[in-house]
């Protein structure tokens, strides 16, 4: 993580406390896009509103923190803390533009049993469990998919690749994000059509 000490000094690396044996890192929150410039016009830092970060350690535990958050009153952690309810996690992805203000909201994990779990804003079906629940802080299992080997995400969608080579998508579909020939949302995973199988 980088921290800028002033507008005229470049950012310097700082070590995050209590993180060891990290095998993956992902971005899971909203940060503004305004860069911080020095007098010569060089970018020296990126101020943020609500940048949420997650890491996965080798034991399968997920940790989370907020980087230079602007809302100290909302309970955001600037020191990494364990995210509860996650065990035996094999992979994690953040949703990148979810504007929730708690560190445990916004993302997907793949567990060692090859199932996908979700949390965060579900207004467009992003949780993949057949609901449009909002502000979901307790992880829920994504419905109707198993034997998952990889996961991916964007702000309003989740994607999963299963062991047969089938790609699944869920969440917002108004711009064709689901790849199933429709422009409607789906609260459960649907098969992405037309992809060759390896």
Task: Provide the 10 A C-beta neighbour count for residue 60.
Answer: 15
Q: Taking residues 52-61, what's their average pLDDT?
A: 86
d(CA 109, CA 28): 12
> How confident is the model at residue 94, as a pLDDT?
82
Residues 72-101: tens digit of each pLDDT: 334 456 678 887 777 789 998 887 654 444
d(CA 12, CA 126): 36
For the record, the structure tokens of 120 come out as 């965060």
Instruction: Work out the angle at residue 18's Cα, subtended by the Cα atoms of residues 7 and 11, and round it to the nearest 5 degrees.
Output: 15
d(CA 148, CA 171): 18
> How confident is the model at residue 123, as a pLDDT?
87
Under 8 Å between Cβ of 118 and 108 = yes
> How confident is the model at residue 90, as a pLDDT?
93
Chain center to CA of 104: 10
> How much of the chain, in percent, has pLDDT values that exceed 70?
68
More confident residue, 31 or 133: 133
d(CA 177, CA 133): 20
Asked which of 21-35, 54-68, 159-173 is least confident by mean pLDDT, the reply is 21-35
d(CA 174, CA 36): 35
pLDDT of 179 higher than 50: yes
Local confidence band at 67 (pLDDT 50, 70, 90 cut-offs): low
* Summary mean pLDDT of the chain: 77
> How confident is the model at residue 55, as a pLDDT?
86
> How confident is the model at residue 162, as a pLDDT?
96
Domains and CATH numbers, the chain: 2-191 (2.130.10.30)
> How confident is the model at residue 139, as a pLDDT?
84
Q: What is the pTM of this model?
A: 0.75
DSSP for 25-87 reads EEE-SB-----EE-TTS-EEE---SBEEEEEEETTS-EEEEEES-S-GGGT--SS-EEPTT--
């Amino acid at each position: 993580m980088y921290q800028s000490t002033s507008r005229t000094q470049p950012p310097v690396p700082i070590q995050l406390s209590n993180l060891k044996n990290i095998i993956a890192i992902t971005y899971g929150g909203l940060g503004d896009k305004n860069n911080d410039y020095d007098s010569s016009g060089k970018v020296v830092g990126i101020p943020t509103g609500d940048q949420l970060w997650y890491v996965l350690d080798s034991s399968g535990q997920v940790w989370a923190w907020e980087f230079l958050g602007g809302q100290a009153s909302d309970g955001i952690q600037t020191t990494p803390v364990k995210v509860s309810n996650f065990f035996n996690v094999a992979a994690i992805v953040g949703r990148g533009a979810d504007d929730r203000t708690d560190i445990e909201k916004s993302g997907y994990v793949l567990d060692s049993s090859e199932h996908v779990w979700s949390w965060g804003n579900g207004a467009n079906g992003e949780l993949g469990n057949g609901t449009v629940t909002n502000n979901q802080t307790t992880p829920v299992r994504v419905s109707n998919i198993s034997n998952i080997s990889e996961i991916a995400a964007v702000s309003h969608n989740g994607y999963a690749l299963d062991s047969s080579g089938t790609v699944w998508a869920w969440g917002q579909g108004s711009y064709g994000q689901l790849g199933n020939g429709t422009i409607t949302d789906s609260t459960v995973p649907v098969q992405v059509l037309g992809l060759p199988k390896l």
